Amino acid sequence: MVDKPMSNHRTRFPFSINKLIFWSLISLAVILFFFVGSPPSTATTTTSSSHSRRSLRGGPQWQTSVIRSSTPSNPKGLRVLVTGAAGFVGSHVSVALKRRGDGVVGIDNFNRYYDPSLKRSRADLLTREGVFVVEGDINDSSLLKSLFKLVKFTHVMHLAAQAGVRYAMKNPSSYIHSNIAGFVNLLETCKSVNPQPAIVWASSSSVYGLNSKVPFSEKDRTDQPASLYAATKKAGEEIAHTYNHIYGLSMTGLRFFTVYGPWGRPDMAYFFFTRDILKGKQIQIFEGAEHRSVARDFTYIDDIVKGCLGALDTAEKSTGSGGKKSGPAQLRIFNLGNTAPVPVGKLVSILEKLLKVHAKKKVVAMPRNGDVPFTHADISLAKKEIGYKPGTDLEKGLNKFVTWYLAYYSNESGKKDRLSSW
């Protein structure tokens, strides 16, 4: 697909309020991008590996580490910059790329949205795998330029983002800073280098918002976001289209559907349900209108990784050079889900079985916090174009998660024992 809409049904903004929301987000992002700049890292841990990632940035040792990490062991391997590399999906993708022979350099700001020690542990495992993770922010233009000056990246796997639907009500500016301003800053760097890399980035199933048609197809309308997080992800898709059209950047967006698994995010329901069930705390299970079950298209991390690699492997080269477009460039977007929605109540039942603990449950009405009652992915396009075939059912995936969780948190004082392999 070249220099045309991501699907046959382009997003429209038929109502003035939708236009107002969208362009207000863009305007705020531009203000932050040009005037606020990058905040310092909020992480406080200072291990030897994080010290080299941070304080020696730009020095000979740092440059050597970046170049070594970016060098493929496979002669035909890619050179990939992975943003958000210490995150849940980013760490898994980085390991998978490195193990198949690609060169990988990560970047992460180790923010405190959730416990940074989990991110540090992931980064330590990446170090063991030979992946160098730069500690920095994607809003730092000079840092990005330094990395691209050292390495001619063939691809960028952009996974850095402010995640979480509910947190947007507490800290909305963080979503603009990362999901819009950060994305624009990254694209500004990519469009100016020669050669331009192909870019694969994480969108979200949240863009479907209040859409009631199921399963969700890439052709469905996405102009009714139910949360600020969803609005920033939708804005990212429009920004991607713009940079593709003007500068010839090859762009592939991936709409993830409720990713779960080992080394996951503590803010996700399956994670904190596990924690609270083991502690004997009451858990709340949301229900929709008319007592309908809330359901999610839970997608196991290994399946998501395969989708990410498939997108990278089929991404065509960008067509620009030094900020100038020479021809139409590839523009795609895919759903990555499991196409098998499961009620949250069943998720809890599976966890009870695996943990051998009866949960203290309380069913409550779903609050108006940006959550939607169900998600369901149509993955036919991803199957056809990138060979995406998820193969992990929820019980099998949760079993792997629970095994990891019990091992990781069984001895919090013994870090070495907690760093289990992937």
Q: Which residues does the annotation mark as catalytic?
A: 229
Q: What gap in Å lies between CA 400 and CA 314, rounded to an integer? A: 29
As a three-state string, the secondary structure of 311-370 is HHHHCCCCCEECCEECCCCEEEEEEECCCCCEEHHHHHHHHHHHHCCCCEEEEEECCCCC
Strands 324-325 and 320-321: antiparallel
C-alpha dihedral, 156 to 138 to 110 to 368, nearest 10°: -90
Evaluated on CA atoms 396, 370, 251, 33, the torsion sign reads negative
Q: What gap in Å lies between CA 366 and CA 29, rounded to an integer? A: 30
Residue 201: which H helix or E strand, with range?
A: strand 198-202
Q: What are phi and psi of 8, to 5 degrees?
A: -70, -15
> Which two tokens mark 94?
């980085």
The count of residues in the chain is 422
As a three-state string, the secondary structure of 67-110 is HHHHCCCCCCCCEEEEECCCCHHHHHHHHHHHHCCCEEEEEECC
Q: What is the DSSP letter of 292?
A: P
Burial degree of 421 (CB within 10 A; 0-12, 13-18, 19+): exposed
